[in-house]
Structure 1
Amino acid sequence: MGLWTVLQGFLLIANAFAILNEDRFLTPRRWSFADVGGAHGANTFKGQIIGLIYAAQYMRLPLILLNGITIVVKFVSF
């Protein structure tokens, strides 16, 4: 397993976080910013994961570009 494969795996995980819908998936399971709340809630493991999910959702445009680059590289290397 090379570095390229690991980077593709991280890209797939970032894509999975980016497509999570807050209303249908996160809020019913109490995984929203409102449920973490407080100054110390963001420092917990759950708060860090929720922050990562929201960061991936915020960075959708760079994810689209990285997906496009990955697709082009896969086509060229094939």
Structure 2
Amino acid sequence: MFGLGRLFYVVLLLTNAIAILSEDRFLARIGWSTAQIDSGFGVPDSQSVKVKLVNLISAVRTLMRIPLIGINSIVVLYELVLG
């Protein structure tokens, strides 16, 4: 069954994936860089889905960098000890 432990692993892996995205190498190529944000037709800058996703990625990269190191270390030790 899909328990809370597996859900925690999925959330942790997705957060890790967002945190390691390189803005220069990957996000800028697809037009999702913070420097390249432009509004769509008839949509203000603050309401665009693209702008919200770029801001979410930036916030995760900024705020979760240090906590992810600790959480990943705890998960690795847990897996090594308890398998």
Alignment TM class, shorter chain as reference: 0.7 to 0.9
Q: Percent identity?
A: 38
What residue is the counterpart of 1:9 in the other structure? 10
Q: CA shift at 1:36, angstroms?
A: 2.0
Q: CA shift at 1:61, angstroms?
A: 0.8
Q: CA shift at 1:37, angstroms?
A: 4.7
**CA–CA distance in structure 2, aligned partners of residues 42 and 16 of structure 1:** 25
What residue is the counterpart of 1:54 in the other structure? 58
Could you tell which deviates more after superposition, 10-19 or 27-36? Answer: 27-36
Gaps of at least 5 residues in structure 1 are none
What residue is the counterpart of 1:71 in the other structure? 76
What residue is the counterpart of 1:32 in the other structure? 33
Aligned amino acid, residue 45 of structure 1: V
TM-score by length of 1: 0.82
C-alpha distance after superposition, 1:29-76 (max 9, x if no partner) = 1101222256x3242221221112112211211111110111122223
Runs (4 or more) in structure 1 with deviation over 4 Å come to none
Instruction: Report which structure shows greater RCO (CA 8 Å, sep ≥6).
Output: 1
Gaps of at least 5 residues in structure 2 are none
TM-score by length of 2: 0.78
- Figure out how many residues of one structure are paired with residues of the other and give that number: 77
Q: Considering only CA atoms, is the larger Rg found in Structure 1 or Structure 2? A: 2
